[in-house]
Amino acid sequence: MIADKSFIFYSLPKSRTTQRLTGGNIEKVWTGLNTFLANCTTVSINEPTSIQLTAYSAWKDDEHPELADKIIDDTRTVFGEPQTEPLSYHYPSGVPSTQTKNVWEFDKRDLSKVLDYLIAGQSWPKFTLGPVELIVSFNFNFIDPATKIELPNQQNKSSIIVWLSRSCSCSPDLYFPFDDADQNFKDYLNKIETHLPFKFEGKYLRLGRPNKNKTQYTFTKLKTE
């Protein structure tokens, strides 16, 4: 659905799909995420949109592939049988790769159990992928951190996808209901910036406008300085 009003949009470019979450280990990263959601959004950390745990077999050049296999087996013992599929297919033959990904989907009621499992396994061994990662997503609207009142005119849901593994990263898509980088927007940004769980980079701000027929958006680079 195309919004009727202009908005300010923060998202990473296609060449850089994720950015690092601040905090270091999973516990500190999770605490930072909780602070952001509780103070700046309409959802709590216990209300994710989706929860997915993935364990990968070793890549062909990875050392000690038996460790990755053991992690898959241990994870299967805790959470049951995953959906298993090849990580990729060779082109043009269509032959599947020998590396697999094993995926478990969870309800939000299982979040604590899955998170505790990931924390207990730190530090996970280093492989090309994984060897295990938790992907959690949240959809939300923004609120005023001081009043806890939801900002008006939010026609698009904002979201953040979080990857927790050996390193922790995220992909934010943030829709701010402001039609210009005026003082009101700058004041709001100052209020939430200390709560953000990642380093905010103003160069990725864009002003989004619906076209005349409201079939798509046009985006222009935005300066906040």
Domain membership of residue 162 (yes or no) is yes
- Model's pTM, two decimal places? 0.91
* Secondary structure letter of residue 98 according to DSSP: S
Q: Which pLDDT score, from 0 to 100, does residue 35 have? A: 97
Q: Tell me which residue of 104, 98, 103, 102 sits closest to 59, measured CA to CA.
A: 98
Query: Residue 130 carries which side chain, given as an amino acid letter?
Result: G
CA 219 – CA 225 distance, rounded (Å): 18
Domain membership of residue 215 (yes or no) is no
Containing structural domain, residue 138: 16-173
Q: Which pLDDT score, from 0 to 100, does residue 96 have? A: 63
Q: Which pLDDT score, from 0 to 100, does residue 91 have? A: 58
Domain membership of residue 188 (yes or no) is no
Q: What is the pLDDT along the chain (225 residues), one digit of tens a residue?
A: 677 788 999 999 888 889 999 998 999 999 999 999 999 999 999 999 999 999 999 988 888 989 999 999 999 999 999 999 887 656 565 556 678 899 999 999 999 999 999 999 998 999 988 899 999 999 999 999 999 999 999 989 999 999 999 899 999 999 999 988 889 999 999 999 999 999 999 999 999 888 877 788 888 887 655
Domain membership of residue 211 (yes or no) is no
Q: Do the Cβ atoms of 59 and 129 come closer than 8 Å?
A: yes
Domain membership of residue 182 (yes or no) is no
Q: Which residues contact 187 (CB under 8 A, 6 or more apart)?
A: none
Domain membership of residue 119 (yes or no) is yes
Q: Which pLDDT score, from 0 to 100, does residue 90 have? A: 60
Q: How many domains does the chain have?
A: 1
Q: Which pLDDT score, from 0 to 100, does residue 217 have? A: 82
Q: Which pLDDT score, from 0 to 100, does residue 14 have? A: 86
Q: Which pLDDT score, from 0 to 100, does residue 49 have? A: 97
Q: Which residues of 74-86 are buried (b: 16+ CB within 10 A; e: fewer)?
A: ebeeebeebeeee
Domain membership of residue 59 (yes or no) is yes
Q: Tell me which residue of 110, 158, 215, 178 sits closest to 11, measured CA to CA.
A: 158
Domain membership of residue 79 (yes or no) is yes
